[in-house]
């Protein structure tokens, strides 16, 4: 499916996944990819969520002609326009699905984002906490996790790419807001997609499944 946000003159290509059979209303999961990684490169997560009753929408955020992500300057400042564009795309996708798929469960929306897509997802959660039930970050490194009770947050961390100062909550904040931070000792940042080993993918999915129960 491809949406068109006329206000921004922007196409929004989507890859969709859903269970073959369902007995109840499908929850919605929106998946955002890492920079220079295809939105179709997370099938292990998308199919896992679909098997658990989710209608999964994987968004292609980076289009031909888009400005490259800045590599100099303070990441939080210079990359914010990219995240804002991503958050606007997530919002438009959500609003469009509410019109096109009104039978979905929009009270339990799950966001999943890897790397730069995780930064977008965390910005969206900060801006629109009432629209999201849960957020899962796969190693987002720049956008601080919201310090709030809603939405529920899980951040799965790699063994090789540390987050910028202030991105991750302190132990006290994790306890207060019930934020889960889990580091994978045998998985690097670039393995958090279909390029990872079967064991790595199974470990990530096990953490996701435990969180969304």
Question: Domain locations in the chain?
Answer: 2-212
82-111 pLDDT, tens digit per residue, is 999 999 999 999 999 999 999 999 999 999
Inform me whether the pLDDT recorded for 5 exceeds 90: yes
What pLDDT score does 20 carry? Answer: 86
Report the candidate in 82, 92, 160, 162 with the shortest Cα–Cα distance to residue 116.
Answer: 82
Domain 2-212: give its CATH superfamily: Alpha/Beta hydrolase fold, catalytic domain (3.40.50.1820)
CB 12 within 8 A of CB 59: yes
List beta partners, residue 113. 32, 137
% of the chain at pLDDT higher than 90: 97
Tokens of 147: 């310090």
- Kindly write down the DSSP assignment for every residue of 43-55, as one continuous string: HHHHHHHHHTTEE
Please give the Cα distance from 5 to 19 (Å, whole number): 27
**Residue 23 confidence (pLDDT) above 90:** no
- pLDDT at res. 162: 96
Q: What does the pLDDT look like over 51-66, one tens digit per residue?
A: 999 999 999 999 999 9
For residues 121 and 117, give the distance between their C-alpha atoms in angstroms, rounded to a whole number: 6
- Kindly state the average pLDDT of the residues 149-153: 96
Task: Output the average pLDDT for the chain.
Answer: 96
Confidence of residue 79 (pLDDT cuts 50, 70, 90): very high
**Contacts for 145 with CB less than 8 Å, ≥ 6 apart:** 122, 137, 153, 155, 167, 168, 169, 179
**pTM here?**
0.96
Residue pair 27/105 in contact (Cβ under 8 Å)? The answer is: yes
Residue 54, exposed/middle/buried by CB under 10 A (0-12, 13-18, 19+)?
buried
Contact 184, 164 (CB under 8 A): no
Question: Is the pLDDT assigned to residue 22 strictly greater than 80?
Answer: no
Q: Kindly report, residue by residue over 112-145, the tens digit of the pLDDT.
A: 999 999 999 999 999 999 999 999 999 999 999 9
Beta bridge partners of 136: 112, 154
> Residue 115: its pLDDT value, please?
98
Question: What is the reported pLDDT for 4?
Answer: 97
User: Are the C-beta atoms of residues 204 and 45 closer than 8 Å to each other?
Assistant: yes
As given in the structure block, the two tokens for residue 166 are 């202030």
Question: Is 181 within 8 Å of 155 (Cβ atoms)?
Answer: yes
Tokens at 191, concatenated: 């393995």
| Angle (CA) 131 61 52, round 5° | 55
Give 161's Cβ-side CA count (13 Å radius). 18
> Contact 31/42 with Cβ under 8 angstroms?
yes
Q: Are 125 and 151 in contact (CB under 8 A)?
A: yes
- What's the pLDDT band for 21 if we cut at 50, 70, 90? confident
pLDDT band at 213 (very low <50, low <70, confident <90, very high): confident
């Amino acid at each position: 499916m491809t949406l068109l946000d006329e206000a921004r003159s922007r196409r929004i290509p989507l890859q969709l996944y859903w269970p073959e059979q369902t007995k109840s209303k499908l929850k919605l999961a929106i998946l955002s990819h890492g920079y220079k990684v295809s939105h179709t490169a997370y099938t292990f997560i998308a199919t896992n969520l679909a098997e658990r009753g989710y209608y999964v929408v994987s968004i292609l955020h980076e289009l031909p002609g888009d400005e490259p992500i800045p590599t100099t300057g303070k990441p939080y400042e210079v990359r914010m326009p990219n995240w804002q564009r991503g958050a606007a795309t997530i919002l438009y996708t959500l609003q469009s699905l509410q019109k096109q798929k009104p039978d979905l469960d929009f009270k339990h929306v799950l966001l999943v984002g890897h790397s730069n897509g995780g930064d977008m997802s965390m910005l969206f959660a900060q801006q629109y906490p009432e629209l999201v039930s849960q957020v899962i970050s796969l190693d987002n490194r720049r956008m601080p996790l919201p310090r709030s009770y809603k939405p529920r947050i899980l951040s799965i961390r790699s063994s090789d790419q540390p987050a910028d100062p202030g991105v991750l909550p302190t132990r006290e904040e994790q306890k207060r807001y019930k934020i889960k931070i889990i580091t994978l000792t045998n998985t690097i940042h670039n393995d958090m997609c279909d390029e990872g080993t079967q064991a790595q993918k199974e470990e990530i999915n096990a953490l996701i499944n435990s969180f969304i129960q």
